[in-house]
Amino acid sequence: MKNNTLLEVNDLKMHFPIFKGAFGMKAGVVKAVDGVSFSVREGETFGLVGESGCGKTTVGRSILRIYKPTAGTVIYNGEDITSYTEKEMSKYRREMQMIFQDPYSSLDPRQSVGSIVREAITTDKNCKLSLSEVDAKVDELLQLVELDASMKDRYPHEMSGGQRQRLGIARALACNPKLIVCDEPVSALDVSIQAQIINLFIRLQKKLGLTYVFVAHDLAVVRHISDRIAVMYLGNVVEITEATELYDNPLHPYTKALLSAVPVTDYDVEKKRERITLQGEVPSPINAPSGCPFHPRCIYATEECKQKKPELAQHGDNHFVACHIIK
Amino acid sequence: MQDKTPLLVVKNLRTSFFTSAGEVKAVNDVSYHVDEEEVVAIVGESGCGKSVTQMSVLQLVQTPPGKILGGEVFYKGKDLLKYGQKSKEIRAIRGAEISMIFQEPMTSLNPVFTIGQQLSQVIRVHKHVSRKEAWAEGVEALRKVGIPEPEARMKNYPFEMSGGMRQRVMIAIAIACNSSLIIADEPTTALDVTTQAQVMELLMSIVKGLKKAMIVVTHNLGLVTRYADRIYVMYAGKIIESGTTEEIMKHPMHPYTIGLLKSVPNLSDEKGKALVPIEGAPPIVINLPDRCAFCPRCPYATEDCMNASMPGLRPVDVGQKHLVACHLDMRGSR
């Protein structure tokens, strides 16, 4: 693994205004992402994990500049791309790709497999390949994601979920990307298929030196594939650390609860595990609580937690936690 | 250990769907039982027939295209399949004796009625009580499932509640008539992990507290390990392995079960442990040949497996309750 930083996100904020009434009066804001910072090294897999509504997808999309962030900076390859125009962004569009959760709705149902991949190759303005070279590239890409060449003339509806996700990956790879944001890429798949796709991600990374930002809600999947993980809650990162450390030594009360909520299949381990069941529900990001976003559900919460929002602070090697309780 | 009395015994159940492409044998000769106060899990991937099996028990399979072709479903000694699909008898069982919790709480709650209307309707169908009494019982049921301010919540519509809340309402409806058996079909699949833990803990405390029995239908192996007493593993419309949770999780015997356990990433795994996926995809159960359905994906399959007919369930060891449907002896291979 190389050590240079490919992506840096500083104090990223993404607020969506809500409009109400006939005159479209601004009625409030959804603070989907409220001050998130992290960096991703070249060649690593950075996991973003959290429950629905925590803002993990919004972070992923802001990185790719699908959204224009409200505040904060996104630095890609040393360049601040936060306020780039569409035109300025275009030079990075191919380098930064996305893989979506639902491979069915992200593929054109009227396009054949071959044409979906071919389009991704030929839309490149600098593409100087001849027709036969493009065809060869399509074959090569399908082979790379382990799809049979005979699939070329099929349509997405004729494929299984796993095959469709492979096609989604092939399309992303057609652009020779450096960074791929994977948004819940395996959660729509059957359990026996998930492992095939996860292994494919790992193989492709080794072969092509890809950098992944892996967004998912399944902690076990994220831990399996990631080098480092950020745990998100209500638009904030509450803990960032190495994947092994996160499981062996979680510090934030929310991370602990999240980990204990996931049952494991090892019978003896499972029977001995401590279970923390959180009370209540995730508050709405429209009326986010003051201070620490987790304090209404936290059993350790003090007066300080209600008033002051904790910052990420270092506790041990490469381990950052945003919590007042941990000293 | 003394044998408990079985509450539900399903014998040789067969349900098929007749489609233009052919007969889909969704449930193909399935037998299982649930004892009193027992939590039984039916595990399998989508399309394996685990939900249809449960729907068949209560005759909720839409006919046509579906049809229950044969078998027996004994509940407290009575064969439910002898009753007509719309008979008074089966309607007295549904909801009152055996209640069901469905995966999608949004689609199984009626969007144009309030929670209170739906909840008290269920109670009034099965009990001879006044509207007022039914309403009060409804409030009580909501309180049992941990919904704050149940009186106010009765007047809410489903869309005004979060996913976790809606699933709690489903549980409240299921327990409102004090049924002895709860069938929970993927009860937490649509929920977030911490909400899943909340809902499962709640369900378990109700089941254990009120001494009910429960069938959990799921694909989540971790969930099963944590909550189930016994497990049935289904593949392509058949039960291919059954036993206690401990036996199956520690010593899985069917190559499919072994494969599933190896392919699911686990929090307790060593970092860097490679996942071993099951190659291929689950079969579509139309016109399957008479042989082990897992054969084409099985890494251990031999020439004999390809030629032999469908293996039946047999004890792993003589006299054991751990059953497996496989020609091979997989002991010690995990």
ipTM here: 0.79
The answer to whether B8 and B57 have CB atoms below 8 angstroms apart is: yes
Residue of A21, A17, A20, A19 whose CA lies nearest to A31: A17
**Three-state SS annotation for B69-111:** EEEEEEECCEEHHHCCCCCHHHHHHECCCEEEECCCHHHHCCC
What local confidence, expressed as pLDDT, does residue B1 receive?
Answer: 44
DSSP labels, B126-149? HS---HHHHHHHHHHHHHHTT-SS
Strand A96-99 and strand A179-183: the pairing is parallel
Residue of A201, A300, A316 whose CA lies nearest to A248: A316
Tell whether A327 is covered by a domain.
no
Residue of B39, B34, B186, B162 whose CA lies nearest to B106: B162
What local confidence, expressed as pLDDT, does residue A111 receive?
Answer: 93
- Same domain for A191 and A298? yes
Residue of B85, B33, B35, B77 whose CA lies nearest to B58: B85
- Same domain for A49 and A185? yes
Residue at a domain's end among A115, A146, A176: A176
Query: Hey, which residues does A147 pair with through a beta bridge?
Result: none
Residue at a domain's end among A127, A161, A176: A176
Q: What percent of chain A has pLDDT over 90?
A: 47
Question: Is B192 within 8 Å of chain A by CB?
Answer: yes
Residue B31 lies in domain? 1-85+232-334
Question: Is B49 within 8 Å of chain A by CB?
Answer: no
What is the rounded distance in angstroms from the CA atom of residue B167 to the CA atom of residue B191?
Answer: 9
B196: distance to nearest CA of chain A, Å? 8
- Same domain for A42 and A89? yes
Name chain A contacts of B267, Cβ cutoff 8 Å.
Answer: 219-220, 223, 247, 259, 262, 264
Q: What is the pTM of this model?
A: 0.85
What local confidence, expressed as pLDDT, does residue A207 receive?
Answer: 93
Tell whether A37 is covered by a domain.
yes
Tell whether A313 is covered by a domain.
yes
Tell whether A70 is covered by a domain.
yes
- Same domain for A307 and A199? yes
- Name the DSSP letter for residue B278: P
- Same domain for A69 and A142? no
CATH code for position B334? 3.40.50.300
The answer to whether A82 and A94 have CB atoms below 8 angstroms apart is: no
What is the rounded distance in angstroms from the CA atom of residue A40 to the CA atom of residue A52?
Answer: 23
Domain count, chain B: 1
Residue of B51, B55, B65, B71 whose CA lies nearest to B22: B65
Tell whether B1 is covered by a domain.
yes
Question: Is B218 within 8 Å of chain A by CB?
Answer: no
Question: Number of H helices and number of E strands within chain A?
Answer: 11, 12
Q: Which A residues 52-91 touch B at CB under 8 Å?
A: 52
Tell whether B105 is covered by a domain.
no
- Same domain for A77 and A100? no
CA angle A172, A173, A175 (to 5 degrees): 80
Question: Is A266 within 8 Å of chain B by CB?
Answer: yes
- Same domain for A47 and A193? yes
Domain count, chain A: 2
Question: Is A269 within 8 Å of chain B by CB?
Answer: yes
Tell whether A326 is covered by a domain.
no
Q: Which one of A162, A267, A281 has the shortest CB-CB distance to B162?
A: A281
Question: Between chains, do B275 and A198 touch, taking CB under 8 Å as contact?
Answer: yes
Residue at a domain's end among A128, A157, A176: A176
- Same domain for A143 and A158? yes
Residue A57 lies in domain? 5-95+177-321
Preceding omega of A289 cis (within 30 degrees of 0): no
Give pLDDT tens digits along chain A (327 positions).
Answer: 446 899 999 999 999 888 877 777 777 888 889 889 999 999 999 999 988 888 888 999 999 998 889 999 999 988 899 988 888 888 888 899 999 887 778 899 999 999 999 999 998 887 788 889 999 999 999 999 999 888 889 999 888 888 999 999 999 999 999 999 999 898 888 888 888 999 999 999 999 999 999 999 888 889 889 999 999 999 999 999 998 898 889 999 999 999 888 888 888 888 888 888 888 778 887 888 888 999 998 989 899 999 999 999 999 888 999 999 887
Tokens of B187: 């009860």
Tell whether B328 is covered by a domain.
yes
- Same domain for A22 and A170? no
Tell whether B270 is covered by a domain.
yes
Tell whether A301 is covered by a domain.
yes
- Same domain for A117 and A52? no
Name chain A contacts of B263, Cβ cutoff 8 Å.
Answer: 191-192, 194-195
Tell whether B16 is covered by a domain.
yes
Name chain A contacts of B201, Cβ cutoff 8 Å.
Answer: 275, 277
CATH code for position A263? 3.40.50.300
Name chain B contacts of A275, Cβ cutoff 8 Å.
Answer: 197, 201
Question: Is B279 within 8 Å of chain A by CB?
Answer: yes
Count how many pairs of residues, chain A against chain B, have C-beta atoms within 8 Å: 129
Tokens of A45: 């897999």
What local confidence, expressed as pLDDT, does residue A1 receive?
Answer: 44
Give pLDDT tens digits along chain B (334 positions).
Answer: 445 678 999 999 999 999 888 888 889 899 999 999 999 999 988 888 888 999 899 888 888 888 898 899 999 888 888 888 888 888 888 888 899 888 776 778 888 999 999 999 889 888 888 999 999 999 988 888 888 888 888 999 988 888 778 888 888 888 888 889 999 988 887 778 888 888 888 889 989 988 899 999 998 898 999 999 999 999 999 999 999 999 999 999 999 999 998 888 888 777 767 888 888 878 877 878 888 889 888 989 888 888 888 888 888 887 788 999 998 888 765 5
- Same domain for A263 and A136? no
Q: Which residues of A196-214 are buried (b: 16+ CB within 10 A; e: fewer)?
A: bbbbbbbebbeeeebbbbb
Q: What is the three-class DSSP state of A237?
A: strand
Tell whether B123 is covered by a domain.
no
pLDDT tens-place string over residues A278-323: 887 788 878 888 889 999 989 898 999 999 999 999 998 889 999 9
The answer to whether B81 and B59 have CB atoms below 8 angstroms apart is: yes
Tokens of B283: 């079969």
- Same domain for A87 and A100? no
A200: distance to nearest CA of chain B, Å? 10
